[in-house]
């Protein structure tokens, strides 16, 4: 069996940036599980995994446009501290979810810098603009169940429990 659309895939991986810093990982004791073809992982990685089989190892380099996107300078904004009512202390690194105009969940942004009453916020994904270096090993492949296919996500171990 090889990885193709509609397969549930278990991976171990290490993700590094171009400087070699480890950003994220999943090891064999707690594999990362996803449904192939359901756009649950960045496109550059999903495309590279197609056709692999259990036991295959692959190093995948993903450019920002096939990863978390380019850095968008327009998503960096300066706001005033009093726009965060109820937050005792605003610190860089904190994340907030903005309210969308329709009242639904909006963009997640990160506090980039606090300077006196000014707060620099950044709505880019934390990995925007990064070239992603994945080292991946395929641990398992199975067919998605009909129920998983209709829900568009994985159930059970490593997936949704409802």
Task: Write out the residues near Zn ion by the rule CB under 5 A.
Answer: 151, 160
Smallest gap, in angstroms, from Cβ of residue 125 to Zn ion?
A: 25
Smallest gap, in angstroms, from Cβ of residue 129 to Zn ion?
A: 33
* Both structure tokens of 27: 């090891």
In 3D space, the residue among 58, 30, 29 whose CA is nearest the CA of residue 46 turns out to be: 58
Smallest gap, in angstroms, from Cβ of residue 8 to Zn ion?
A: 12
Compare residues 50 and 156 and give the one whose CB is closer to Zn ion: 156
Compare residues 95 and 145 and give the one whose CB is closer to Zn ion: 145
The H-assigned helical ranges of the chain are 43-49, 146-151
Are 19 and 131 contacting, i.e. CB atoms less than 8 angstroms apart?
Answer: no
Are 138 and 3 contacting, i.e. CB atoms less than 8 angstroms apart?
Answer: yes
Compare residues 46 and 148 and give the one whose CB is closer to Zn ion: 148
């Amino acid at each position: 069996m090889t990885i193709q659309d509609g397969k549930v895939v278990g991976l171990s991986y290490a993700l590094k940036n171009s400087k070699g810093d480890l950003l994220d990982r999943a090891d064999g004791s707690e594999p990362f599980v996803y449904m192939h073809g359901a756009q649950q992982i960045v496109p550059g990685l999903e495309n590279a995994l197609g056709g692999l089989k259990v036991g295959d190892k692959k190093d995948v380099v993903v450019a920002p446009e096939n990863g978390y996107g380019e850095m968008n300078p327009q998503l960096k904004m300066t706001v005033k501290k009093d726009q965060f009512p109820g937050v005792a202390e605003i610190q860089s690194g904190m994340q907030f979810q903005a309210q969308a105009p329709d009242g639904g969940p909006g963009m997640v942004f990160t506090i980039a810098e606090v300077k006196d009453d000014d707060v620099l916020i950044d709505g880019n994904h934390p990995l925007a603009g990064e070239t992603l270096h994945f080292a991946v090993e395929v641990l398992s492949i199975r067919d998605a169940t009909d129920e998983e296919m209709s829900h568009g996500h994985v159930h059970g171990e490593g997936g949704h429990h409802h």
